[in-house]
Amino acid sequence: MYYRGDVTFFRETVRAAALFHDLGKLDEQFQRILTTNAKEATPNHVDAGTGYLIERNLVEAAFLVYAHHIGLQSIPEERAKAELFLRDADLFEQTNRRLQEFKSRHDSCSLPDVPDGRHLQSDWTGLTRRIALSCLVDADHGDTAANYRKVLPTSRPAPRWKERLVALDKYVQDLQSQEGEGERSSLLRDIYQSCRDADTGPSFYTCDSPVGTGKTTAVMAHLLRTAINKKLRHVIVVLPYTNIIKQTVDVYRKALVLPGENPHEVVAEHHHQADFEAEDTRHVATLWQSPIIVTTAVQFFETIASNYPSRLRKLHELPRSGVFIDETHAAIPNSLWPQTWRWLMELAEAWKCHFVLASGSLPRFWELRDMIDVPEKLPDLVNQKLRKRALRYEQKRVHAIRHRDVLDIPGLERLIASTPGPRLVIMNTVQSAAVIADYLAKKYYGENYSINIDASSVLHLSTSLTPEDREVIVEAVKRRLALSFGHSGRDFTLVATSCVEAGLDFSFRSAFRERASTSSLIQIGGRVRRRNEDFEPMLIDFKIEDEFINRHPAFSLSSQILEKLFDEGRIGTDSPSDLVTEALRRELMSDTNAKYELIKQKETDGDYPEVAKLYKVISENTRLVVVDPRLIKKLEEGENVSSRELNRKSVQIWTDKLTKTCAFPIEGFPGIFGWPEEDYDKVFLGYMKGMLQLLKTESEGGGVI
């Protein structure tokens, strides 16, 4: 058991909930439906188990049973009811009258009973309740998926941490031998060794070495040593953007997978939040079962904050795991860090987790008294002398300048054309990136353009493309960046969203960043002259206003703070970590609605639906939209589809925009949609091909039918 609290009470509670969560299914009507597979409304089967466990004073177990379909509810609201966990007064009384009948049937199946509970107030936190519910739900959903889809449990690869560390050491040594000698290669070697040799005793570490200094492998070396010493179950790598998952996964599969192993089972990649409640879709849910899991910040943090069963299903895999939160600066909105830090501390202290927070522009929020209850210093994997050496190297490499005039689209095009290629342009929204890319393509090639990713003067990369299609474009960008200077294929412009500002091994000559935040500007510098090449780099911050350029509300305050830091002359002089920490402090002080305080209070009160509602890494809900016609056909025909295939061939589209698009529901798969093949461009605009057509129609007074 990985819990440092009252292990016996935790086990007894989950066991009691597991034994009686389906007690109401012993109702004759329910048995008839199960036996005949009849398509009729089923009676509520939850009240019976809930009522019985309350009678036995097993209130926490009753809460889990009550929540195993509807999710963890608000404790204050439940306490205000005439009866605890009351859903329907008439049905509740009817169920109570039949409790003994159900219990007799339960006993006749030779199922065990549970002892009466304690007449004590439970000291469980919200996180403990979520993990307990996760244990119950995973078993329940797994059984249901196996029953309906004949899905058999898969064997898990062994951790084999010692062997993987040996393999990683060899992989890094081979890379270092290819790098040759020089200031950068020396820095990479020393940072890897510093991380690998760090003491594994503390539960928290930071790693704020600059971009391009090998954090992907260096932090993994530390976590593998920690996994050996602390007997960790998993190593979870959390990334802010879906498109950098593939690059990271590729590195880890090359470096950590041992002979004879299946790379997809050893290093799992989770691109989207694919959690499904309906019985027909539970078999395609993503689970954290591999030794090494690479996932998104949205999936990781919103799982911890959730109250809903399907999303919590995988949470019980988190205890006693090592977690690498890479690009921490971009992981979650700043307002979420105060409560998140409480959860991370509890996971470390009560559930034996180990954390590394890393970034080339790491905000030290844990030191801010306005943000954290008890500010503290965290040890760094890279010693102070080595950090200063790395910072000096970074300051010589690139610095940012500000374009003072507000641009329109033609103005931005002229600015881009005035600089040497290859060029990178980062826009704040998927729509804005598609609009700029489309404008450039039409200017270069005419209205009916066709894009060849290995020769075109403009490329596009955003989450409007599936993970599978983004990988193709990323590889094309790498090939073209590797060409010699003067080669025509090297003179191109990549228009993208913030999904490429961190984690990707790109090195452009010129870069342009729509004004967003201090950390975003610093991070995009990591995609310019990354290897200290022999050319003069250019990094320009700009503002733009035009008809189809939509603003990202999350950057409203942070862009103002960045402009103020430019005015104060601090951009290019302060260290990246100092800059982003100061920007974070100012943003927090300007948070007039104090959302972070509200989330903390709701969690303390046990108002779990409200916490889940307030805690959004991405401000709006999205839906999974499958764009591959063959996969849509497989789903419609009832063929088994893996969660990996579903993730790689789909995109996420805002729920509130879905009705305005050409998306269509896929029969038999609630919550999953399809996209017309003719409205998706797999080499350039992705689903924005169809969306731009709709935007143009709307601007001309038309509408969607």
Which residues lie closer than 8 Å to 626 by C-beta, 6 or more apart?
632, 635, 646, 649, 650, 666, 672, 673, 674, 675
Q: State the number of CA atoms in the 13 A half-sphere of 588 facing the CB.
A: 22
Phi/psi of residue 119, each to 5°? -90, 50
Phi/psi of residue 601, each to 5°? -65, -40
Cα–Cα dist 148/146, whole Å: 6
The pLDDT, as a whole number, for residue 415 is: 96
pLDDT at 358 over 90: yes
Cα–Cα dist 306/291, whole Å: 24
The pLDDT, as a whole number, for residue 278 is: 42
Q: Is 681 helix (H, G, I), strand (E, B) or coil?
A: strand
Strand order in the sheet with 672-674: 650-654, 622-626, 672-674, 664-665
Tens of pLDDT, residue by residue over 602-650, are 999 999 999 999 998 876 678 889 999 999 999 988 888 887 788 889 9
Cα–Cα dist 22/143, whole Å: 13
Asked if 47 contacts 91 with a C-beta cutoff of 8 angstroms, the reply is yes
- Distance of alpha carbon 135 from the chain centroid: 21
The stretch 583-609 carries a mean pLDDT of: 83
Tell me the residue type at 138.
D
**Which segment of 216-230, 331-345, 646-660 scores lowest on mean pLDDT?**
646-660
Under the banding of pLDDT at 50, 70 and 90, the label for residue 29 is low
Under the banding of pLDDT at 50, 70 and 90, the label for residue 376 is confident
Instruction: Say what the alpha-carbon torsion angle 174, 180, 186, 191 is, to the nearest 10 degrees.
Output: -30
pLDDT at 25 over 80: no
Domains of the chain: 7-124 (no CATH), 161-393 (3.40.50.300), 400-571 (3.40.50.300), 622-699 (no CATH)
Mean pLDDT of the chain: 85
The pLDDT, as a whole number, for residue 335 is: 83
The pLDDT, as a whole number, for residue 642 is: 81
Under the banding of pLDDT at 50, 70 and 90, the label for residue 704 is very low
Instruction: Indicate the pairing of strand 510-514 with strand 538-544.
Output: parallel
* Closest to 521 (Cα-Cα) out of 464, 563, 567, 482: 563
pLDDT at 273 over 70: no
pLDDT at 127 over 90: yes
Tens of pLDDT, residue by residue over 510-550, are 999 999 988 888 888 878 887 767 788 899 999 999 989 99
The encoded tokens of residue 602 equal 């709701």
Identify the residue whose tokens are 């290819």. Answer: 178
Q: Output the DSSP codes for 613-663.
A: HH--SSSS-EEEEE--HHHHHHHHTT----HHHHHHTEEEEEHHHHTTSS-
pLDDT at 324 over 90: yes
Asked if 207 contacts 356 with a C-beta cutoff of 8 angstroms, the reply is yes
The pLDDT, as a whole number, for residue 275 is: 44
Phi/psi of residue 665, each to 5°? -70, 145
pLDDT at 220 over 60: yes
Ramachandran area for residue 327 (φ above 0: left; ψ -120 to 50: alpha; else beta) = left
**Which segment of 180-184, 360-364, 419-423, 451-455 scores lowest on mean pLDDT?**
180-184
The pLDDT, as a whole number, for residue 205 is: 97
